[in-house]
Chains A and B, each alone.
Chain A
């Protein structure tokens, strides 16, 4: 398999629903490998960027950023990565180095590998030790497969509904954490279920269409590659409830690589893992962990920074690998 498929470098995507004729969709090579981010700003329809590297530099007014990490798989210890805790620590160091500090972190699931209490303990301890601030979670199937979510909810269920779904607002942006890893059926994909869809319907009912929406869930909400279970059976029903909004950003994990898709006002981004990579869709017999040479591992793991320019619904997504 080509290493290029696994190798995701800095990618900048700007999703701008204002339609003022400026081309905001393109890929740029990030100028620095040290993990510095870029803040995109729109002023009078002209795009500009500003490095966030300098300590103490205040972001432009009305902008904030947050980070996403995913698939830490604490407890995994096979050839693809013998120390997933160490690579998680590297990822968190990168998050901590973002300037200014991100408002919070989203973890899009598979916190643990074997759903064991000790693995959850290590995950929580590592996050607390890194001092990255508040973390919001959604579970992956590895976090709930053996007990239907009991252990996960005991630790991360406070303030959530049902199987762990929840929403919150931050500076005018509405964040929705969905759970699509419970009650999986043989031959099926991820599933949200009727109870959660009914909750989602009520949750967004009162919001104006100009409210920027960020959805985070473990399994991709769109059909990335159904033969490997990479999709959500009833994902389209959730998206249907969100199509009226002018800016919807869907952040997923599960597939351990960055893929993006744009559908009208909805932009989808899957994320790198902090533990191990997986093959690109259909390029291998199975979606198992991929072993790369040890000196390349950090290049195929990574974090994401999302910059929000308030008032425009503009979100800039910056993915960076650990090395």
Chain B
């Protein structure tokens, strides 16, 4: 007895293969994507160590953020966004910027671990801290 197979046109067979390949590609891609997502994120409350250079803004006679925690070797950059002169001066003069005009920028690279309290030598009530771990 003759077996009757449903006939599959050549074109649809080719597009069927393409579809399967696409699906397979998608599966591979999504599992790769999922693998990337498996890196655990920082638990809430813990300071995330940043790889990029942290920025501190001087505005309204305040250093913002008031506390920055960075790994050893990080360069921190301060920008004066106020309309008057300020300085970035470490309490024990471990670092001291010149007078920063509005728009002025100062950077310092923290080579040693420790807690660095700094202030504006013109307006000493402006204080802030860099913690280097």
The distance in angstroms between the C-alpha atoms of A48 and B87, with both chains bound, is 50
Is B119 in contact with A288, judged by CB distance below 8 angstroms?
A: no
A229-B84 CB under 8 A given contacts A114-B99, A186-B91 = no
Is B61 in contact with A184, judged by CB distance below 8 angstroms?
A: no
Among the 9-residue stretches B27-35, B47-55, B70-78, B122-130, the one with 4 or more Cβ atoms under 8 Å from chain A is B122-130
The distance in angstroms between the C-alpha atoms of A141 and B98, with both chains bound, is 14
- The answer to whether the Cβ of A131 comes within 8 Å of any Cβ in the partner chain is no
Residue of A nearest to B83 (CB): A78
The distance in angstroms between the C-alpha atoms of A155 and B61, with both chains bound, is 30
A187-B83 CB under 8 A given contacts A78-B102, A146-B99, A286-B61 = no
- The answer to whether the Cβ of B69 comes within 8 Å of any Cβ in the partner chain is no
| Binary per-residue interface labels of chain B (25-66) against chain A in the complex, 1 for a CB within 8 Å, 0 otherwise | 000000000000000000000000000000000001110000
- The answer to whether the Cβ of A209 comes within 8 Å of any Cβ in the partner chain is no
State the main secondary structure of chain B at its contact with A. Answer: loop
The distance in angstroms between the C-alpha atoms of A288 and B85, with both chains bound, is 10
Is A141 in contact with B121, judged by CB distance below 8 angstroms?
A: yes
| Binary per-residue interface labels of chain A (76-94) against chain B in the complex, 1 for a CB within 8 Å, 0 otherwise | 1011100000000000000
A228-B125 CB under 8 A given contacts A145-B87, A286-B61, A288-B84 = yes
Residue of B nearest to A113 (CB): B85
Contacts of B98 in A (CB 8 A): 146
Is B85 in contact with A188, judged by CB distance below 8 angstroms?
A: no
Is B83 in contact with A288, judged by CB distance below 8 angstroms?
A: yes
- The answer to whether the Cβ of B107 comes within 8 Å of any Cβ in the partner chain is no
Is B85 in contact with A287, judged by CB distance below 8 angstroms?
A: no
Is A229 in contact with B99, judged by CB distance below 8 angstroms?
A: no
A186-B127 CB under 8 A given contacts A145-B122, A146-B98 = yes
Residue of B nearest to A116 (CB): B99
CB distance from B60 to the nearest CB of A (A): 5
State the main secondary structure of chain A at its contact with B. Answer: loop
Is B61 in contact with A288, judged by CB distance below 8 angstroms?
A: yes
Option from A145, A287, A288 in Cβ contact (under 8 Å) with B121: A145
Is A289 in contact with B124, judged by CB distance below 8 angstroms?
A: no
- The answer to whether the Cβ of A285 comes within 8 Å of any Cβ in the partner chain is yes
Is B60 in contact with A286, judged by CB distance below 8 angstroms?
A: yes
The distance in angstroms between the C-alpha atoms of A54 and B83, with both chains bound, is 43
Residue of B nearest to A229 (CB): B125
The distance in angstroms between the C-alpha atoms of A148 and B14, with both chains bound, is 84
Interface centre among A184, A189, A227 (most CB of B within 10 A): A184
A78-B125 CB under 8 A given contacts A145-B99, A146-B99, A186-B118 = no
In the complex, chain A residues 128-157 whose Cβ is within 8 Å of any chain B Cβ? 141-142, 145-146
CB distance from B124 to the nearest CB of A (A): 4
Contacts of B124 in A (CB 8 A): 184-189, 229
CB distance from B97 to the nearest CB of A (A): 9
- The answer to whether the Cβ of A115 comes within 8 Å of any Cβ in the partner chain is yes
CB distance from A130 to the nearest CB of B (A): 26
The distance in angstroms between the C-alpha atoms of A311 and B60, with both chains bound, is 49
The distance in angstroms between the C-alpha atoms of A189 and B122, with both chains bound, is 11
The distance in angstroms between the C-alpha atoms of A242 and B38, with both chains bound, is 73
A115-B84 CB under 8 A given contacts A185-B124, A186-B118 = no
The distance in angstroms between the C-alpha atoms of A23 and B60, with both chains bound, is 43
The distance in angstroms between the C-alpha atoms of A287 and B117, with both chains bound, is 22
Is B85 in contact with A142, judged by CB distance below 8 angstroms?
A: yes
The distance in angstroms between the C-alpha atoms of A185 and B124, with both chains bound, is 6
Listed in ascending order, the chain A residues whose CB lies under 8 Å from chain B are: 76, 78-80, 113-115, 141-142, 145-146, 184-189, 226-229, 285-289
Listed in ascending order, the chain B residues whose CB lies under 8 Å from chain A are: 60-62, 82-85, 87, 91, 98-99, 101-102, 117-119, 121-125, 127
User: Can you list 29 contacts pairing A with B, beta carbon distance less than 8 Å?
Assistant: A79-B83, A80-B83, A113-B85, A114-B85, A141-B122, A145-B87, A145-B121, A184-B124, A185-B91, A186-B117, A188-B124, A188-B125, A189-B124, A228-B123, A228-B125, A229-B123, A229-B125, A285-B60, A285-B61, A286-B60, A286-B61, A286-B62, A286-B82, A287-B61, A288-B60, A288-B61, A288-B82, A288-B83, A289-B84
With A187-B127, A226-B125 known, 5 other A-B pairs at CB within 8 A are A141-B122, A146-B99, A185-B91, A187-B124, A188-B124
